[in-house]
Amino acid sequence: MNKKLLDEIYFSAFHNDEKEMQGIIDVWYTTSLVCHDFVDRNFWHACKDDMRNEYIPAAETMVAKYKGKVIGFISLVDNTLAAIFLLPDYHGKGVGQALLANAFEKRDRLSLTVYEKNMAARNFYLKHGFTESNKSVDEHTGEVEITMEWNAV
């Protein structure tokens, strides 16, 4: 964990600010292209409007900013961890862990789906106490997804 970097990152709830929304969409899109490179990039491009108009507004979202720029976010819908995305340059520096810790403070249990091929994300979730519980096929991409669950002890 990079304590110095974390000290400089500002975490806040998202309040439907247009500049922050654009930052969230940019982080989601950039990270999706890098971490889900096995999915056609046109799929991610086609989902941008749904993210902006449906998914993010329906979720409880926490934003991570560094020097005024959105670098990551986590979105919860009830007990579902609907999204956690962090610009690749900030992976492995404790920012994702800090976002996840915020979710753990708010919920007693969480579930999520992650692509089977996204080993970095799967390992991140396993490291933080999630267990794999089910496999299915994402109807939109044809990729295998794994359902993972976490329960507070």
DSSP letter, residue 65: E
In the chain, the number of structural domains is 1
On whether residue 115 sits in a domain, the answer given is no
**CATH label of the domain that carries residue 48:** 3.40.630.30
On whether residue 95 sits in a domain, the answer given is yes
On whether residue 72 sits in a domain, the answer given is yes
- In this prediction, residue 153 carries a pLDDT of 80
Using one digit for the tens of pLDDT, what is the confidence trace for 37-89? 999 999 999 999 999 999 999 999 999 999 999 999 999 999 999 999 999 99
On whether residue 117 sits in a domain, the answer given is no
On whether residue 83 sits in a domain, the answer given is yes
- Which residues, including other chains, have CB under 8 Å from residue 83's CB and lie 6 or more apart? 28, 55, 59, 73, 74, 75
- In this prediction, residue 2 carries a pLDDT of 62
- In this prediction, residue 9 carries a pLDDT of 82
Whether the pLDDT of residue 34 is over 80: the answer is: yes
pLDDT bin (cut points 50, 70, 90) of residue 1 is low
On whether residue 50 sits in a domain, the answer given is yes
- In this prediction, residue 152 carries a pLDDT of 92
- Which residues, including other chains, have CB under 8 Å from residue 137's CB and lie 6 or more apart? 143, 144, 145
On whether residue 134 sits in a domain, the answer given is no
Domain span holding position 38: 3-108
Using one digit for the tens of pLDDT, what is the confidence trace for 78-131? 999 999 999 999 999 999 999 999 999 999 999 999 999 999 999 999 999 999
- In this prediction, residue 135 carries a pLDDT of 98
What whole-number distance in Å separates Cα of residue 151 and Cα of residue 18?
Answer: 34
**Stretch 136-148: mean pLDDT, rounded?**
98
On whether residue 146 sits in a domain, the answer given is no
- In this prediction, residue 3 carries a pLDDT of 65
